[in-house]
Amino acid sequence: MKDKHKKFLKLPEYPGGKEAFKKYIKENLKYPKDALDNKIEGVVHLSADINDNGELISAAIEKGLGYGCDKEAIRLIQNVHFGSVKNRGVRLKTKKKFRIEFKLPPQKKINYNLTKTNDIKKENDEKESSAGKKYSYSVKIQTLLNVSLIDLCTFVNVQFTNVY
């Protein structure tokens, strides 16, 4: 049985389909610095007008996140070229809606091992009772991702400065 609902007009599509479009977005998305600093994530909804040659005429944000995410979403859509279509001499302008997801990259993880050593200073047997115990910690830090030296020093100073 034949499909009775044939589409009369062809609409411009991204070459390669939806999966290729998602791949393009994933590869070319540059997370804005302001959004990273403020830990902003979410979805930007925008609409774009496309002519019959597959060229973007205009793009507008319908629901944005701010912090530079809206500008980045518009930049991505403006760089896209859709395939041109032929509709029996009919030139048409179409409106498409897009969703661009901004998701924060995984956080940095620090693995560390603590080894405790007891150093008792014995100068004389008589001074042993007044010398007390000193504890020192040696810290071995392995980073899974790049961690700045300032973050590392702050982490070590806060956690391991206790001497008894």
Cβ contact 67:80 at 8 Å: no
- Give the per-residue pLDDT at 124: 43
Neighbours of 50 (CB within 10 A): 25
For residue 59, give the nearest of 50, 67, 68 by alpha carbon.
50
* Number of other residues whose CB lies within 10 A of the CB of residue 26: 9
Instruction: Lowest mean pLDDT of 13-27, 65-79, 106-120, name the range.
Output: 106-120
Residue 2 DSSP SS3: coil
Domains of the chain: 17-102 (3.30.2420.10), 110-159 (no CATH)
**Per-residue pLDDT reduced to its tens digit, 41-72:** 999 999 999 998 889 999 999 999 989 999 99
- Predicted pLDDT of residue 91: 82
Read off φ and ψ for residue 82, nearest 5 degrees. -90, 160
pLDDT exceeds 90 at position 146? no
Strands 110-119 and 134-143: antiparallel
Average pLDDT over residues 114-129: 49
Question: How high is the pLDDT of residue 117?
Answer: 57
**pLDDT class for 108, splitting at 50, 70, 90?**
confident
